[in-house]
Amino acid sequence: MNYNRMGGDPFRQNKMRFYFKFSMIAFVIVIGVVIFMLIFRANNSTKIDYSQSTFVQYETPADSAPVVVFETTEGTFKAVLFEEEAPEYVKYFKDLVAKGYFDNTYVCTILRSGSVTGGFIGGSKTKDGLQNDDTDMEMTNIEVSPNLLPTTGAIGSLVKQGGSFSSSKAGSVFTVFDDVVNIEELRAQNAEDKNGYARVCGIFEKYGGIPNYLQLYTIFAQVYDGWDTVKKIDSYRIVGEDLPDDDENKSYQPEKEILITRAYLSTYGEQKQNGYNIPLKDQSAVSSEAESKAS
């Protein structure tokens, strides 16, 4: 038998069969992993069902409900903490407050685009929001509750996205949300009441907020007192305010140094002198926005 046509190797055909089978097995494994990753990601990005939600941040808390009081260079504001809705993060946050971590930390960012402000980021050990040796690097798993929404005055921690097989994580800095909602666009996106989103549209129309961020934050608290302070912080100019948003010299750091001089834990019963107040969105502003779009 002449083996020259097979490169002088009588076992080449068997080897080729083996390599082919091995390659097919490897290919199937790779495809299986890819499909699993896609399913995993799809499950993680599933919209929240709000059809049966009890939106607890709009209900007067029990006297025993935990509250954090923020004393700042611009005044004081208070927020109730939702232990049942974000238990892991609230425990972490309360531990930081109890050990004085937020004392003399900075409001490092004001979320500003043109004339619209989305809120501010506080709790940073540095003015520009960069980490330093004093920054707490612990992270907690993202917690998303169907009973909390990122409406005006809600407080959340922006999560760092995890890998394909790891959870997203929330850290020590926090965002106090302002109002950027466009009610007409929000209603158009949720014309059909799937997963209770028509209810959600009504709440954003009533209170304002940042609906595009529904699953990017662990929401864990709600401001209920000290709105003048929150609005004052939101109003400050940022570095390079008049520059285009894409200009490299524009910074979202406030021009004025804003400090959280002290943060401490209390209860609603001890901090309810002014009642539980979540102001309604300015209905005149909503009407003006709708009229300008119509014209």
Task: Indicate if the pLDDT at residue 151 is higher than 80.
Answer: yes
Highest mean pLDDT among 11-15, 18-22, 34-38 belongs to: 18-22
* 71-85, 145-159, 245-259, 277-291: least confident range: 277-291
Q: Is 67 exposed, middle or buried (0-12, 13-18, 19+ CB in 10 A)?
A: buried
The predicted pLDDT at position 161 comes to 55
In the structure, what pLDDT confidence band is assigned to residue 167 with cuts at 50, 70 and 90? low
Task: Indicate if the pLDDT at residue 48 is higher than 70.
Answer: yes
Q: How far is CA 284 from the centre of its chain?
A: 28
Alpha helices in 57-157 (DSSP H): 87-98
Of the candidates 79, 211, 188, 196, which has an alpha carbon nearest to the alpha carbon of residue 146?
Answer: 196
User: Dihedral through CA 43, CA 154, CA 238, CA 290, nearest 10?
Assistant: 90
Per-domain residue ranges of the chain: 4-44, 56-294
Task: Indicate if the pLDDT at residue 31 is higher than 60.
Answer: no
Beta bridge mates, 265: 68
Task: Indicate if the pLDDT at residue 34 is higher than 90.
Answer: no
Q: Model confidence over 115-142: pLDDT tens digits? A: 789 999 999 999 988 888 888 888 888 8
Question: For the chain, what is the largest distance between any 2 Cα atoms, rounded to a whole number of angstroms?
Answer: 102
Give backbone dihedrals phi and psi of 37, rounded to 5 degrees, phi first: -65, -40
Mean pLDDT in residue range 240-268: 91
In the structure, what pLDDT confidence band is assigned to residue 16 with cuts at 50, 70 and 90? low
Q: Model confidence over 209-248: pLDDT tens digits? A: 998 655 688 999 999 999 999 999 999 999 988 888 888 8
The predicted pLDDT at position 90 comes to 97
Of the candidates 215, 66, 256, 169, which has an alpha carbon nearest to the alpha carbon of residue 200?
Answer: 215
Highest mean pLDDT among 12-16, 99-103, 171-175, 195-199 belongs to: 99-103
The predicted pLDDT at position 26 comes to 54
- The dihedral of CA 69, 70, 72, 77: what is its sign? negative
CA–CA–CA angle 158, 104, 131 (5° rounding) = 45
Choice between 41 and 199, residue whose per-residue pLDDT is larger: 199
State percent of the chain over pLDDT 90: 51
Residues 50 and 45: their CA atoms lie apart, in Å, by 15
Q: Model confidence over 169-196: pLDDT tens digits? A: 777 899 999 999 888 888 777 666 678 8
**In CATH, which of 1.20.1090.10, 2.40.100.10, 3.40.50.970, 3.40.50.620 is domain 56-294?**
2.40.100.10
In 74-173 the beta strands, taken as DSSP E runs, fall at 75-81, 105-106, 109-113, 116-122, 140-141, 154-160, 169-170
